[in-house]
């Protein structure tokens, strides 16, 4: 197969609205988000519910921005395509590899560890390395094409949503004598301080990742209608589902227990549905991990495929399987890196979690750069066709930039970890920038910050 054939093989346009919604919620309904939400409730329930509304509003700003950008440039490259047209190839490569590829590798390994831990708690010594096997199974499903991916993702995402709705509704409506009264929650609204802003960092995990539908745009049916609808529906579904889970957590479990447990959703399930619910917790853990795995693999592989088409990565990343129409190398490369990370750091999982938090800080930079891209492109191409235009422009973008700058500065869970997080961010960005400078200068032979004409993309 020659280079030209590698990057010109088209993807298959298959995804409809419901599959896009499954992608939109799929990256967000993982166990990590459940942990941060319930621990946030345990820290200060009244402040956390306000923080959730702040985080939801912040999510709407990036939804408006990504939707306009993705339909203006409907390419699989996602943020790399938008950024190279707005502010140049160097930030495009750095932000995509550092913010998404790095996160996929570290978060993939961390989620494997978490799934292993949950099963060790539920069934000690019975299911060795189950997280790794689930991860490998999801890789195989993704490899067999977008049709198989969509079917599996729909099952995982909507099963997970149904379970969370069950837990939330039953927990909220409980009237046992031991339940914590809602009056305490309401009275806490009168004594809110700056802790609302600090808890917004935790609450944001309930809404980060819905932009993963954008790299799937080349495989989407009627993207002008389905992509905006999927993003908005996903946001409101997550607000309702996570809101109910958080309220159930407050109502059924003392805050100290939520804060001091590494899998507080297991405590919540036991409190809501009884002690004999190991199977339900196991299903919840598998569907949560599987949905996050599947969405991340699909979206990241399409980003790398798009970057290869734009000559920002070696052309092998643009290789598409002739039968399954899957960007197979872009799928296997980050997954292999995550597995290596899991194997190497199996005895020092804290190092992987620290790197995941560091990569998540770079992820916040992705949203920041996306807002900047939109503002630049509105000025540079005022008359360019835009099937979707961000409401209330530029207010959401300005508010998004200000909020993200605050969250980036306050992204560490503890002050002690801040130094390590920013050191790792510097390393991630620095190494990615070294690759980008070398590649742009010697392979692409272009300026580092010279914006690409939009018609070229």
Please say whether the beta carbons of 291 and 28 come within 8 A: no
pLDDT value of position 1: 41
**Does residue 146 contact residue 305 with C-beta atoms inside 8 Å?**
no
> Which structure tokens are listed for 305?
């495929």
| Beta-carbon contacts of residue 31 (< 8 Å; ≥ 6 apart) | 111, 114, 115, 118, 263, 265, 285, 288, 289, 292
Residues β-bridged to residue 15:
220
Say how far apart CA 214 and CA 79 lie, in whole Å: 9
Per the DSSP assignment, residues forming a β-bridge with 220 are 15
- What is the reported pLDDT for 4? 41
pLDDT attached to residue 42: 93
Pairwise CA distance, residues 143 & 325, whole Å: 9
Q: Closest Cα partner for 241 from 318, 310, 169? A: 169
Nearest to 6 by CA among 291, 252, 321, 294: 321
pLDDT tens sequence for the chain (457 residues): 444 445 556 677 888 999 999 999 988 888 888 988 999 999 999 999 999 999 999 999 999 999 999 999 998 788 999 999 999 999 999 999 988 998 888 888 888 998 999 999 999 988 888 999 999 999 999 999 888 988 999 999 999 999 999 999 999 999 998 899 998 888 777 666 666 777 888 888 889 999 999 999 999 999 999 999 999 999 999 999 999 999 999 999 999 999 998 899 999 999 999 878 999 999 999 999 999 999 999 999 999 999 999 899 999 999 999 899 899 999 999 999 999 999 988 877 777 777 777 777 888 899 999 999 999 999 999 999 999 999 999 999 999 999 999 888 876 656 667 778 888 888 888 999 999 999 999 999 999 999 999 988 7
* pLDDT computed for residue 215 by the predictor: 92
Angle at 104 between CA 326 and CA 291, to 5 degrees: 70
3-state secondary structure of 249: helix
Residue 326, classed as helix, strand or coil, is coil
Distances (CA, A) of 147 to 14, 288, 319: 7, 20, 18
Q: Taking the domains of the chain in order of start, what are their residue ranges?
A: 12-456
The residue whose two tokens read 């109910």 is: 244
Comparing CA positions, the residue from 342, 361, 338 lying closest to residue 105 is 338
For residue 122, count CB atoms less than 10 angstroms from its CB and return exposed for 0-12, middle for 13-18, buried for 19 or more: middle
Cβ pair 390, 373 in contact under 8 A:
no
- Residue 230: phi and psi, rounded to 5, are -65, -45
pTM here is 0.91
Q: Which residues of 235-271 are buried (b: 16+ CB within 10 A; e: fewer)?
A: bebbbebbbbbbbbbbbbbebebbeebebbbbbbbbb
CATH class of 12-456: mainly alpha
410, 54 in Cβ contact below 8 A? no
Q: CA distances (Å), 281 to each of 31, 97, 247, in order?
A: 11, 34, 19
What does the alpha-carbon distance between residue 326 and residue 336 come to, in Å, rounded to a whole number?
A: 16
Q: Report phi then psi at 15, rounded to 5.
A: -75, 130
Give Cα 256 to chain centroid, integer Å.
28
């Amino acid at each position: 197969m020659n280079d030209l054939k590698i990057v010109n093989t088209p993807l298959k346009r298959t995804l409809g609205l419901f599959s896009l919604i499954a992608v939109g919620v799929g990256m967000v309904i993982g166990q990590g988000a459940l942990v941060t939400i319930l621990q946030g409730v345990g820290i200060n329930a009244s402040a956390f519910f306000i923080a959730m509304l702040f985080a939801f509003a912040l999510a709407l700003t990036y939804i408006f921005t990504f939707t306009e950008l993705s339909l203006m440039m409907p390419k699989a490259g996602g943020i790399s395509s938008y950024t190279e047209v707005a502010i140049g190839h160097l930030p495009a490569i750095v932000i995509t590899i550092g913010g998404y590829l790095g996160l996929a590798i570290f978060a993939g390994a961390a989620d494997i560890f978490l799934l292993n831990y949950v099963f060790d708690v539920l069934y000690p010594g019975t299911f060795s390395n189950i997280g790794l096997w689930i991860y490998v199974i999801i890789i195989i499903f993704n490899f067999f094409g977008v049709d198989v991916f969509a079917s599996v993702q729909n099952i995982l995402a909507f099963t997970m949503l149904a379970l969370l709705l069950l837990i939330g509704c039953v927990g909220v409506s409980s009237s046992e004598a031991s339940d914590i009264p809602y009056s305490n929650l309401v009275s806490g609204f009168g004594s809110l301080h700056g802790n609302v802003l600090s808890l917004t960092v935790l609450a944001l995990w309930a809404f980060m990742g819905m932009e993963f539908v954008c790299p799937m745009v080349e495989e989407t049916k009627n993207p002008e209608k389905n992509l905006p609808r999927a993003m908005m529906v996903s946001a409101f579904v997550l607000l309702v589902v996570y809101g109910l889970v958080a309220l159930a957590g407050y109502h059924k479990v003392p805050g100290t227990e939520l804060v001091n447990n590494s899998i507080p959703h297991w405590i919540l399930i036991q409190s809501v549905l009884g002690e004999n619910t190991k199977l339900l917790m196991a299903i919840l853990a598998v569907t949560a991990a599987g949905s996050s795995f599947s969405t991340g693999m699909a979206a990241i592989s399409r980003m790398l495929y798009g970057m290869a088409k734009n000559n920002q990565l070696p052309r092998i990343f643009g290789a598409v399987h002739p039968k399954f129409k899957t960007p197979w190398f872009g799928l296997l490369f980050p997954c292999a890196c995550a597995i290596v990370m899991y194997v190497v750091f199996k005895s020092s999982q804290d190092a992987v979690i620290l790197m995941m938090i560091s990569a998540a800080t770079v992820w916040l930079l992705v949203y920041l750069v996306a807002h900047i891209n939109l503002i630049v492109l509105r000025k540079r191409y005022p008359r360019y066709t835009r099937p979707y235009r961000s409401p209330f422009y530029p207010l959401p973008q300005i508010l998004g930039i200000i909020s993200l700058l605050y969250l980036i500065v306050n992204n560490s869970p503890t002050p002690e970890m801040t130094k390590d997080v920013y050191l790792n961010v510097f390393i991630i960005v620095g190494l990615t920038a070294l690759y980008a400078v070398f590649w742009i200068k010697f392979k692409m032979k272009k300026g580092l910050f010279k914006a690409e004409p939009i018609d070229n993309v």
